Structure 1
């Protein structure tokens, strides 16, 4: 578990990295960046509901077999739980 002060630092660092990537690669698009902590699938589904998103696009590692069974898949959980379509990109 990350202490509260550590969590805030981690979120700030993540936001700065995302902003740098967005400026560098998405110059014609103005994304809304959101950084949060917690269970990834639960947070994505919760935020999707709150924002009323029409589509979720997310990357996946493409694990199969035993690795998928043991590690699970955030993308799989989001696909099953989201109220909108989910596009997964390997």
Structure 2
């Protein structure tokens, strides 16, 4: 599963997820892109691996981002959540933690948290 938001940009998470599947020699990948909100334009600027053995599903939900990520991960029997982190923004993040911190603390599966803009390669293109 890859959570997608306007900020932080999820392209780094997509790149790392692709790289991880290559390292682990995964034969097939079912990737779920999750956006919590009403701005579906967040998907427009992203590049995806176009491979026969990758299946992409897009899920759009509303509500609290971390709570929705947990629900969708459970519903899809998610093996791994790969998410970009942009750090804390605002007073509430200081008190309860950023969305990625909340997901990391409470998720039932492993998390790969990627800092914004960090790609496994400087110019990874799909």
Q: Specify the TM-score bucket, using the shorter chain as the normaliser.
A: 0.5 to 0.7
What's the Cα RMSD here?
2.7
**Where does residue 85 of structure 1 map in the other structure?**
110
Question: Can you give the 5+ residue segments of structure 2 that lack an aligned partner in the other structure?
Answer: 1-36, 116-126
Task: List structure 1 segments (4+ residues) > 2 angstroms apart after TM superposition.
Answer: 27-30
Q: Normalization by structure 2: what TM-score?
A: 0.49
Q: How many residue pairs were aligned?
A: 75
Note the C-alpha offset of 1:47.
0.7
Structure 1: state its 5+ residue gaps: 1-9
Residue in structure 1 matching 2:78, options 53, 78, 84? 53
The structure having more radius of gyration, on CA atoms, is 1
CA distance in structure 2 between the partners assigned to 1:70 and 1:80 by the alignment = 14
The answer to which structure has the higher helix fraction is 1
Q: Which TM-score applies when normalising by structure 1?
A: 0.66
Q: Are the aligned partners of 2:96 and 2:102 in contact in 1 as well (CA < 8 Å)?
A: no
Q: In proportion to residue count, which structure has more strand?
A: 2
